[in-house]
Amino acid sequence: MFTSGATESINLVIQGSNKIDNTSKIKPRIGVLPVEHKAVLDTCYALAKKGLAEIINLQVDSKGRLDINHLEEVCTSGLSLLFGGGHQKGQRSGTLNVPGIVGLGEACRLRLLEMEKDENAIALLRDKLQSLLLDKIPGLTVNGDINSRLSGNLHISIPDVPNSAIIARVRHQLAISTGAACSSGVETPSHVLTAMGLGGR
């Protein structure tokens, strides 16, 4: 199904699946990771608030990885799996964005040809930057699972240094941010970092 973007897709999948499950009159139990995208969390909690679903908060470790033992415990008592809400026909009205769909297909084709080389090169640059930062900044911590992450991902904490000060010094040299774009302007700690036990950093 082609939609306008991630938020609409997330809502269609979760709410569409919930609608299908509710034909049995049994309230579905949906397992949600606390490190999920905010659109996933907001949609699931909205269903729970309406009494349409029971939300089970799954657990993650300090690196943001799913606690498999907890998942197994939850699954033994029954847990809904989310499926798509059906075909596009009848699910999302309106004329399809044909140029966008064709463009996506071509972009995927080109990315497949270049991805392995690009990702390796980006990872090398990331690792070089990480080594330099660890060598030059006392107390710096690399957050998350350093063995299972995107090539361009480097998430760090520097004790006793305000985020704003760091951004001001390096924003013209690095693509850097203190949070996700979907949470811009929000003063509360990141829900992802909080789930990892890093909310106070």
The set of catalytic residues is 182
Q: Which of 48, 31, 37, 32 is nearest to 6 (CA)?
A: 37
- Using CA of residue 48, residue 43, residue 45, residue 195, what is the dihedral sign? positive
CA separation for the pair 113, 10 (Å, rounded):
28
CA atoms within a 13 Å half-sphere pointing along the CA-CB vector of 191: 16
Distance, in Å, from the CA atom of 22 to the CA atom of 51, rounded to the nearest integer, reads 11
In the numeric block, which tokens belong to residue 66? 């799913």
DSSP notation for 23-38: GGT---EEEE-TTS-H
CA 141, CA 44: separation in Å to the nearest integer?
32
Contacts of 189 (CB under 8 A, 6+ apart): 199, 200
